[in-house]
Amino acid sequence: MAFKASVFESHPDFCPECGTILPLPGIEPTVMCCGCKFKVDVKKFNGITLTYGIKYDNAGKYKKRKEKEKESEESKSMGPLADRQCSKCGHQGMTYATLQTRSADEGQTVFYSCPECKHQEHEYS
């Protein structure tokens, strides 16, 4: 069986013609690239071993999830500060976000949030 030789040299895991990752060799005498259909002789894979491992860390999994939840709660109250006093607790400085909630020819809506008491207000501009 004659094989077309490639003009490029590459790592055995990659197609020498297009660079696509080659599938694992099976019982066929060739390995065919899924990208360009180039065929590689299975003998090129002799002596190559594949090893892998799976590591589980169940001890830190719960702690990491709680830290992520805390970070997401903190990030909700973060944002640009406006020189505005909270009407509920009187704190000076509220974070804000803007959204276009109505038609394009009308102003945007500004949502304010107090970083102290989490009170929320909105203003139509």
pTM above 0.75, yes or no: no
User: Is 40 in contact with 25 (CB distance < 8 Å)?
Assistant: no
User: Is 59 in contact with 36 (CB distance < 8 Å)?
Assistant: no
| Of 63, 71, 8, the residue nearest 36 (C-alpha) | 8
Kindly give the confidence (pLDDT) of every residue in the chain, 125 residues in length, as a single tens digit, with 9 standing for 90 and above: 445 566 666 677 788 888 888 887 878 888 888 888 888 888 887 777 777 777 776 655 555 666 666 655 555 556 788 889 999 999 999 998 888 888 888 888 889 999 888 899 988 87
User: Is 6 in contact with 22 (CB distance < 8 Å)?
Assistant: no
